[in-house]
């Protein structure tokens, strides 16, 4: 991708993707929003000395890479497109894994050892799951390669959420209600909170991201290994008695 053939808006997204790939925990969408917002045509017309931010290497690299052809080419040599796609998927997997771990820890942290505390913490975890899925949709629309890496992560996460319905640990029940039945335990499962009975106004978890992959890279989910995993998830959703609208939308992804 050449400097002259791109717009400033394209370059700022591209440069942020490159530099954020060196950060193990921050997705491109969430990386240095303060600097990203400053990069515009007005800044491009300033003296180049103003693009340098003392004490801020990443901010300086983002600004110079967006405005200066030589800096643009240097950054692109640092981290080519294919490794970046793989690194994004690895980062996405780590971030989802962090949320799964937080879920596993529910009830073992002071302040979360009540039913109300557990529900509040579960709500925060689910909100993060949705935000990670939303960030993935934006990334898929930006990135032109590596969709299979991302799809691999998304299918693993969705399958794990579906199986979570059967894996609710005793630690996530309130110790104040030791005789709580299976229905209360189910209310604390990720499957229940993300798919079966999500918060009002919440989107269908993960479906838009998978639909985006089908739209932008139709062959990705058509691969035999991917289709087998999709069919496994479809079966899990049916066994769980998932909402009809969710099942219908997911089936259209499987049969696309």
pTM attached to this predicted model: 0.86
Q: Highest-confidence range of 30-44, 112-126, 169-183, by mean pLDDT?
A: 30-44
Give per-residue pLDDT as tens, 66-119.
Answer: 999 999 999 999 999 999 999 999 999 999 999 999 999 886 666 555 666 677
Please name which of 40, 49, 56 lies closest in space to residue 8, comparing C-alpha atoms: 40
Q: What is the pLDDT of residue 181?
A: 43
Sign of CA dihedral 123, 128, 131, 136: negative
Percent of the chain with pLDDT strictly greater than 70:
87
Angle, alpha carbons 26-36-29 (nearest 5°): 35
Q: Which residue has the tokens 């769980």?
A: 240
Percent of the chain with pLDDT strictly greater than 90:
81
Range of weakest confidence among 92-96, 141-145, 213-217: 141-145
Q: Which residue has the higher pLDDT, 169 or 138?
A: 138
């Amino acid at each position: 991708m050449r400097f002259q053939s791109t717009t400033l808006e394209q370059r700022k997204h591209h440069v942020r993707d490159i530099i954020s790939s060196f950060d193990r925990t921050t997705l491109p969408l969430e990386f240095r929003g303060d600097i990203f917002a400053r990069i515009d045509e007005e800044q491009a017309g300033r003296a180049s000395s103003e693009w340098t931010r003392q004490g801020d290497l990443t901010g300086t690299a983002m600004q110079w890479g967006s405005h200066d052809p030589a800096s643009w080419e240097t950054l692109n040599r640092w981290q080519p497109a294919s490794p970046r796609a793989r690194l994004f998927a690895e980062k996405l997997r780590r971030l989802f894994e962090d949320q799964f771990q937080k879920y596993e820890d529910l009830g073992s942290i002071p302040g979360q050892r009540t039913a109300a505390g557990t529900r509040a913490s579960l709500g925060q975890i689910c909100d993060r799951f949705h935000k990670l899925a939303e960030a993935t949709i934006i990334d898929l629309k930006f990135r032109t390669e590596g969709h299979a890496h991302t799809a691999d992560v998304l299918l693993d996460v969705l399958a794990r959420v579906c199986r979570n319905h059967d894996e609710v640990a005793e630690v996530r029940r309130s110790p104040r209600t030791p005789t709580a039945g299976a229905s209360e335990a189910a209310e604390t499962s990720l499957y229940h909170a993300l798919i079966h009975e999500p918060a009002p106004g919440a989107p269908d978890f993960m479906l838009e991201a998978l639909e985006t992959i089908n739209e932008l890279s139709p062959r990705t989910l058509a691969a035999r290994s991917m289709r087998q995993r999709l069919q496994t998830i479809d079966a899990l959703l049916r066994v769980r008695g998932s909402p009809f609208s969710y099942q219908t939308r997911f089936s259209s992804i499987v049969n696309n």
